[in-house]
Amino acid sequence: MSLKVVIIGGGSSYTPEIIEGFIKRHRYFPVSAITLVDIEAGKEKLEIVGQFARRMIRKSGVPIELEWTLNRQEALIDADFVTTQIRVGGLSAREKDERIPLSHGAIGQETNGAGGIFKALRTIPVLMEICHDIQKICPNAWLINFTNPAGIVTEALLKYSPHKKVIGVCNIPFNMKNSVAEMMNCPANDIQIEFVGMNHFVFGKRVWMRGNEVTGQVLQKLIHQEGDYSPANIVSLGWSKEFLQALGMLPNPYHQYYFQGAAVLEKDLQAYRENGTRAEVVRKVEKELFIQYRKEELNEKPKELENRGGAYYSDAACSLMESIHNNAGDIQTVNTMNNGSIPDLPNDAVIEVNSVITRDGPQPLTVGPLPASVKGIIQQMKAFEELVIRAARSGKYTHVYQAMVMNPLVQNEGVARQLVDELLEAHREFLPQFN
């Protein structure tokens, strides 16, 4: 039986990560063909990554045929899974998303805040086109989306694209589980976390270790800053005892932007002055990675890939595809339609929660009403995400302005106007809907 995966954005420096995931899982998820797809601008990287991925596969001895192409529609023929890891406008667009807000004293960040809004505006129309192609060419394929802002993009697709087999994935819940396991000194499989919220705004509501609830113990360890809790791309400031005790849940590393905004901004500005934006740092990391990827003798994922914030995303992505393929009925944390799991949010909102994974896709587990402490801010974030999606579709200035001013990291009418004006101008080429 053939099992084909198409990776859109295949020239990304992250690709060896997912290739390693397919190799490791081949026994239970026997992928037979992988096609890497990219655009003309990414041709050179695609070739380097393609050759390297082939060497990885050859070394492992698994029978996977790997190809690469710039022809997306041809690549999609007979696909069973399609993954998307694209960055519309490349790292230079990311640099603008990060730098322009910082120059106005606002957090840029390509997923949260002002930068994330513009990343969504650039990305949603492109992903929508990809979904049209999938629907036409391989309608039974599952689209696994990691493209940021993953929750917003996934909601736009599930609501408005013709293709409904779409699931959003992020490494944050996975990393949180691993960090907790490290803190508790046990294997990750012994830890179960009930996640509630949205992508990059998810909380760990309750934690169990081998069936016993250990939420309080984990919070104590977090108070004492035991264990590494942030991915490479975000600061790690730690949390106060008062905050964690009042919250009674695990925040995720991105919550620092919302609950320690001034301190994070100061750190981001300091890092910006020293090393430039995260985009510039990533450019250097990528340059080094590509020097390695070119080496004929390299046939395993290099350690330096851990310098990227998305390190280990392939574990989340590959175990999801494996469970769909095997109709496993296990529980994984994904971005999917609410459908009543959280009654305080719209049924058609995309949320990040534990879901049962079968060949029919994710069935979210019931979370129940949101805890009073975070109900307000989660609803505000969801309303903000809806505003972003509306702006991406309409191309109207008022809509993007509304999204900007209502973003909890901006919430200043004058700054919002400056940011919208400058970012619209800076990204004009990649925002055809606004021209």
Residues annotated as part of the active site: 254
* Closest C-alpha among 269, 428, 310, 240 to residue 12: 310
Could you say which of 112, 123, 171, 402 contacts ligand G6P (CB under 6 A)?
Answer: 171
Under a CB-based contact definition with an 8 Å cutoff, are residues 324 and 355 in contact? no
Q: How far apart are CA 52 and CA 15, in angstroms?
A: 10
* Amino acid sitting at position 401: Y
**Segments of 62-136 assigned E as strands:** 65-69, 81-84
Q: How far apart are CA 261 and CA 145, in angstroms?
A: 28
Is 170 a binder of ligand G6P (CB under 6 A)?
yes
Tokens of 369: 């009403």
**Piece in contact with ligand G6P (CB under 6 A), picked from 24-32, 305-313, 314-322, 325-333:** 305-313
**Piece in contact with ligand G6P (CB under 6 A), picked from 151-159, 182-190, 231-239, 378-386:** 231-239
**Piece in contact with ligand G6P (CB under 6 A), picked from 15-23, 294-302, 303-311, 361-369:** 303-311
Could you say which of 205, 221, 308, 427 contacts ligand G6P (CB under 6 A)?
Answer: 308
Is 231 a binder of ligand G6P (CB under 6 A)?
yes
Residues 96-115 that bind ligand G6P (CB under 6 A): 111
Instruction: Give residue for tokens 């393929």.
Output: 325
Could you say which of 309, 361, 362, 364 contacts ligand G6P (CB under 6 A)?
Answer: 309
Q: Which is nearer to ligand G6P, 25 or 278 (CB)?
A: 278
Q: How many residues bind ligand G6P (CB under 6 A)?
A: 13
For helices 90-103 and 261-275, angle between their N-to-C axes, nearest 10 degrees: 120
Secondary structure letter of residue 10 according to DSSP: T
Residues 4-63 that bind ligand G6P (CB under 6 A): none
**Piece in contact with ligand G6P (CB under 6 A), picked from 15-23, 51-59, 206-214, 308-316:** 308-316
Could you say which of 148, 277, 335, 354 contacts ligand G6P (CB under 6 A)?
Answer: 148
Strand partners of residue 361: 358
Cα 199 → chain centroid:
7
Which H or E run contains 352?
A: strand 350-358
Positions touching ligand G6P (CB under 6 A) are: 111, 148, 170-172, 231-233, 278, 282, 308-310
